[in-house]
Amino acid sequence: MGNQFKVGDLAVIIGYDHLPSNQGRGCELIAKLVPGEVIDHPNDSAIEMQYCEGDEPRWLVRGDSIENNSDDPVDAGLDLILERYLMPLGGDLEPDQQKQREAEPCA
């Protein structure tokens, strides 16, 4: 069962493939990147970042407590996380659940 994440969603990191210290930390989803994709760096638009590690897409996430393997301060609070290691926080109900809740009488 895949999640339907979108940019701006909040999530908690529930696993890891390279940095165990981020497990359990909250984050915001910034961009979904596929191997080889190049985007403007979210902390400095003068820099481009390229993602080419592995063969699976990853979410670029941001959070105050997020650590990464970079010594560059411009990368502070950012990491790339496989989608299977993210769990949505709060968020929207499935469409059927939303319809059911709207039909329930208020107490």
Tell me how far CA of residue 93 lies from CA of 29, 44, 52, in angstroms: 18, 34, 33
Instruction: Classify each residue of 62-82 as buried b or exposed e, where b means 16 or more C-beta atoms within 10 Å of its C-beta.
Output: bbeebbbeeeeeebebbbbbb
User: What pLDDT, on a 0 to 100 scale, did the predictor assign at position 97?
Assistant: 46
pLDDT at res. 3: 64
pTM value? 0.73
- pLDDT above 70 covers a percentage of the chain that reads 79
List CB contacts of 62: < 8 A, sequence separation 6 or more. Answer: 27, 28, 30, 42, 77, 78
Q: What is the mean pLDDT of residues 92-104?
A: 50
Answer whether residue 31 is part of any domain.
Answer: yes
* pLDDT tens for each residue of 34-45: 888 888 888 877
Of 3, 26, 29, 2, which Cα lies nearest the Cα of 13? Answer: 26
Domain assignment present for 1: no
Domain extent, residue 70, equals 10-103
Q: Considering the domain boundaries, does residue 4 fall inside one?
A: no
Q: Is residue 83 part of a domain?
A: yes
Count of structural domains within the chain: 1
pLDDT at 88: 95
Tell me, yes or no, whether 65 lies in a domain. yes
What is the average pLDDT score of the chain?
A: 81
Q: Is residue 35 in a domain?
A: yes
Residue 3 inside a domain? The answer is: no
